[in-house]
Amino acid sequence: MKKMTLKKLFGGICCAAMAMFAVSCAQGVDDETWTSGVSGVQLESPAAESIAFSLATDASGNEQVKVQWPVSMGAGGYEVTVLNVNDPENPEVVVDHETVDGCSLLFPLAEDTNYEVSVLTLANEKYNNAGAASATTVPYSSMIGGQTIPAGTEIGQYITNWMVEHESEYMAAIAADPNFEWAFDLERGAAYTLDAPAKSGLVPIRLRGTQGVRPVVTVGEKGCLMPAAGLKIKNVNFDCEAMTATYGLIEMDKTRTDVPVNSNKVMQCPYPIRIESCWVRELAKSLFNIGHGAWGIKEFRMSDCMVQLNNKNDDQWTTFINAWQNKGVVNGAEGVSWYGAILNTYVLNSTVWNRYESATLKDKNYFIRFANQSIDKAVGSYNGVFDIKNSTLVRMVPRKDFGNNIANKNQYVITFENTNFWDCYRLQKVKRGGTYVWKNNTIWGVFNSVDSTDKKEIATEENMGFTDDNIFKAMDLTQPNGGVNFKATGTISSTIGDPRWLN
């Protein structure tokens, strides 16, 4: 199995052709050395087999897809459109009819995404050349290979068994290519159960649903996703009402005895943990939890998600993002190391709310917690980030400090931006000596009045106007936006927060 197979296919087909036209293309469409002599003709769009793809990194360090095509003599430029067609019935525009004065274009790379790229050759009035009658459209995919899990399957044991059976094969693949990942695909709109921990071992995996009509996974009492390396979840909905016996929907696997450790005897997860475009309902535990193990996590990222909790906040183990532990488990042995941290934490374009009544909540939980401030002992560096951007947080948490044991060095940068915090208390407890960026946030107190430092430094005190029929409501996975509406009404709050409420 090869990673990004269509990309490699197109690259192989087109590399020879690209070499032939690269020098002439570098001049740009206005160079008369290649436009002269071609006039009064009907131009054609580039042939499909001549359009090539490669990867590039922009100035900000973000990975991009570079699409290139051969020059059309006498052209007046090109018009390029890029669509995300993961949901073929509802394509999303990535690049909208952009005019290009050259023969290449960069667009953002998203994992596990199918694209359609169209290139249209434009007219050149100077040489009386008519534009192409139609664009050339070619597919491009960043999908990796994987295994489809049949609808109705209990996925915990299925994933565990599959990974045990293929472990030696996949570990050899990682040795050959450190970027190797394996994917499990869930059928469009299908129902699944998760009654046992899905242990994926030391191989990073992806759990993929389908955009538009997501599969639904009903999580049982002992169900969870339990990686010992990377995990990426995308386009999957989870019903966690019956999940009571595990620490989190995603919980690191402390049962392994062969996890790589650093000099401080902390188990290392060098691959990211990501949950994207997912809905989670009735979660009484953590979204992410390192359990009792000493873990150094490279990245935890939640983006474009809706997470609805029903959490009493009566158990410190149910902190929303938990990298705290108290047994020091390392490769099966207790009392070995007491560190635990996440280098880079992202909460982006998401809504999180706890429907439990504020007055009856307890005060044992945080939104985020590390084992101690010395995160370099766990992750090897202080050069990390904690970002909450373009999000809506409701009742997270009203009676407790927002964070605990966050890194205390200037290299560690905390950014809260364009986010609405409703019934959230003492955001300022994430301040421990790092570097802070507070930009365009609002906060509203309900159980407790707004902390003085919070409203002085971090957010503007403003009533967002959220209503009881939303803040106390369990998510309905069958309804648009889960059947709730967190559209804010304040002067500032109505312009920020999770983008889904701005439409």
Q: Quick one: tokens of 323? A: 């990298």
**What gap in Å lies between CA 257 and CA 253, rounded to an integer?**
10
Task: Give me the pLDDT at residue 465, please.
Answer: 96
- Provide the b/e sequence for 278-296 (b: ≥16 CB within 10 Å): bbbbbbbbbbbbbbbbbbb
Q: What is the 3-state secondary structure (H, E, C) of 363-406?
A: CCCCCEEECCCCCHHHHCCCCCEEEEECCEEECCCCCCCCEECC
Question: Rounded to an integer, what is the distance from CA 180 to the centroid of its chain?
Answer: 18
Whether the Cβ atoms of residue 289 and residue 251 lie closer than 8 Å to each other: yes
Give the model's pLDDT for residue 485: 96
pLDDT in tens, the chain (503 residues): 333 333 333 333 333 333 333 333 433 334 443 445 789 999 999 999 999 999 887 766 678 999 999 999 999 999 999 999 988 889 999 999 999 999 999 999 988 899 999 999 999 999 999 999 999 999 999 988 899 999 999 999 999 999 999 999 999 999 999 989 999 999 999 999 999 999 999 999 999 998 889 999 999 999 999 999 999 999 999 999 999 988 999 999 999 999 999 999 999 999 999 999 999 999 999 999 999 999 999 999 999 999 999 999 999 899 999 999 999 999 999 999 999 999 999 999 999 999 998 888 899 999 999 999 999 999 999 999 999 999 999 999 999 899 999 999 999 999 999 999 999 999 999 998 889 999 999 999 999 999 999 999 999 999 999 999 999 999 999 999 999 999 999 999 999 999 999 97
CB-facing half-sphere around the CA of 386: CA atoms within 13 A: 28
pLDDT value at residue 208:
96
* The pair of three-digit structure tokens given for residue 246, joined into one six-digit string: 């595990």
Among 354, 281, 371, residue whose Cα is nearest residue 317:
371
Q: CA dihedral defined by 46, 48, 49, 50, rounded to 10 degrees?
A: 30
Q: Say if residue 261 is preceded by a cis peptide, omega within 30 of 0.
A: no
Q: How many Cβ atoms from other residues are within 10 Å of residue 410's Cβ?
A: 10
Residue 432: the pLDDT is 83
Calpha distance 249→357 (Å, rounded): 22
Cβ(417)–Cβ(389) under 8 Å?
Answer: yes
Most distant CA atoms of the chain, gap in Å: 81
CA distance 83 to 30: 28
Sorted by sequence, the CB contacts under 8 Å of residue 427 that are 6+ apart come out as 402, 403, 416, 421, 443, 451, 454, 458, 459
Task: State the pLDDT at residue 30.
Answer: 41
Q: Look at the block and give the residue holding tokens 């094969």.
A: 169
Q: Look at residues 439, 384, 438 and name the one whose alpha carbon lies nearest to residue 406.
A: 384
Q: Which two tokens stand for residue 295?
A: 């873990």
Backbone dihedral angles phi then psi of residue 117, each to the nearest 5 degrees = -115, 125
485 class by beta-carbon count within 10 Å (0-12 exposed, 13-18 middle, 19+ buried): middle
Q: Which two tokens stand for residue 94?
A: 């990535």
pTM for this entry: 0.84
Tokens of 55: 């990867």
Q: What CA–CA distance (Å, rounded) separates 324 from 334?
A: 15
Distance between CA atoms of residues 251 and 199, nearest Å: 10
Per-residue DSSP letter, 455: I
Give CA–CA dist 125/332, Å, rounded: 73
Q: What is the pLDDT, as a whole number, of residue 60?
A: 61
**Backbone region of residue 201 per phi and psi (left: phi > 0; alpha: psi in -120 to 50; beta: other values):** left
The H helix count followed by the E strand count for the chain is 6, 35
Query: What CA–CA distances, in Å, run from 321 to 269, 288, 317, 469?
Result: 16, 5, 10, 26
Q: What is the DSSP letter of 124?
A: B
* Contacts of residue 162, Cβ cutoff 8 Å, sequence gap at least 6: 147, 184
